[in-house]
A and B are shown apart, each in its own frame.
Chain A
């Protein structure tokens, strides 16, 4: 089911027009992708492994040029963007990479602070935000831990905090719950929903259909290199939904110390 939405006053952040991507110039990983992401949108991006979810996101966070078509980011055609404009554009996008991509020689704190540092922000302006984010993701006691001493799930949470620290306009989360237990997964999703409610656009790539069902958000589905937009999935059963939401509510309360 393709849905139409009313979004007259919300500005367009991302606009794909017939975008195609081919890594080798022969086979097409993505073709004819058309999609609009507006301020305040929340989208799940689903599709089987290898469908091109990461590839699609890579184009949005300016790691990969489209092979064809037109991709507009914050109103600018990225193919015509001069190189010195790329950093400014990337700073408006927070990315949780599927493989985290933390810098191994930096502590958890320094990794999270990185987006602020590269913008030349003074440490005393962001130190408190970084500490609060670390506490929120449950790593308040691992401030000075190096990534190699963190578990997969802990790294994922550091990566999430790094994506949020500069308060971006658009958050791209590639499998942000892939390495954490359901409770932490639920908390991460709640946080993303909360940020979205405050106005940030969010795209979450995930395999986790249970999660997708629960969140009741529109879905971008990738299949055979093509993208289609769908309404929220139906729950499997009311019982599952009740159980899931009560558990989530409880987690949220305990996590926030309420």
Chain B
């Protein structure tokens, strides 16, 4: 019953902004999570064996020995030995084209895909390699992995924390607006009481109003957020051809579904906090 009043339009704008920010925070959360998942999963099954030695012949011998060890180890799924050609190519950027002499001991590289079980415990493999191919060094990308997942976790916590803070702000704004609305509509509420309205009736009227207002504002914010996300996804895609950095925006309907929940959450928050506020402040009257 209490009318939309002057507070209607500004409040809706505030809710739209809150919803926009909440959508961005949530999209950020999913973006970081998915990017981290993608990166770490790409790395986590891979290890590299490097073979160093004083002369090409020693290196070649150790490469063969290491390959044998790897192929004999259970849990090793793929072994890819880099040829001398390939290894030279890898060095070219540092040494210059055609400058890699035949006598230079170019380190050997073997890329290995391992099962998750083996990935967890590489010590056996490490020992075998040390025994049979002394020049082999095993690199499990662990440093990369650890720092990636640590920073991804921090990013996720941060994004979700921001999302929660924005929701708290939404609650506070609604409570404030509901209180102000009650004060501004005091005469209406008095009359409603005097003609026999219960607190529940009045609270339900206020709740309905805030639900509609919350829904409209939140949908506006969501639309804006989707536009911004699509635009920035499109812009970054131009910069980074592989499109590797925006997994959350590109072809990800799960994130979109979660974003659609934001307006629902916001208008529920609006309705519930408005109702609680009204019931609490009316119960203080006679």
Contact = CB atoms under 8 A, between A and B. Distances in A.
Interface of A: 61-63, 65, 83-84, 86-88, 90-91, 95, 101, 103, 105, 114-115, 118-120, 162, 166
Contacts of B188: 103, 105
Given A101-B187, A103-B191, A105-B3, A115 B196 contact: yes
Contacts of A114: 191-192, 195
Secondary structure of the B contact surface, majority rule: helix
A91 B194 contact: no
Report the contact-size class of chain B (Cβ under 8 Å from the partner).
10 to 19
Interface of B: 1, 3, 187-188, 190-199, 201, 283, 286
Given A65-B286, A103-B188, A84 B198 contact: yes
A118 B283 contact: no
A95 B194 contact: yes
Secondary structure of the A contact surface, majority rule: loop
Contacts of B187: 101
Contacts of A91: 195-196
Give the most central of A101, A103, A115: most B CB within 10 Å.
A103
A95 B196 CA distance: 11
B261 to A, nearest CB: 33
A118 B194 contact: no
Contacts of A120: 201
A61 B192 contact: no
Contacts of B3: 105
Give the most central of B1, B187, B199: most A CB within 10 Å.
B1
A46 B195 CA distance: 24
17 contacts: A61-B194, A83-B199, A83-B283, A86-B286, A87-B196, A90-B196, A95-B194, A101-B187, A101-B191, A101-B194, A103-B1, A103-B191, A105-B188, A114-B191, A114-B192, A118-B201, A119-B196
Given A87-B197, A87-B198, A105-B3, A118 B192 contact: yes
A253 to B, nearest CB: 33
B184 to A, nearest CB: 12
B286 A90 contact: no
Contact of A115 (B195, B199, B286): B195
B191 A83 contact: no
Contacts of A88: 196
Contacts of B199: 83-84
Contacts of B190: 63, 101
A83 B3 CA distance: 25
Contacts of A61: 194
Contact of A162 (B193, B195, B198, B283): B195
Contacts of A162: 195
Give the most central of B187, B190, B194, B199: most A CB within 10 Å.
B194
A118 B196 contact: yes
A91 B195 CA distance: 6
A56 to B, nearest CB: 16
Contacts of A84: 198-199
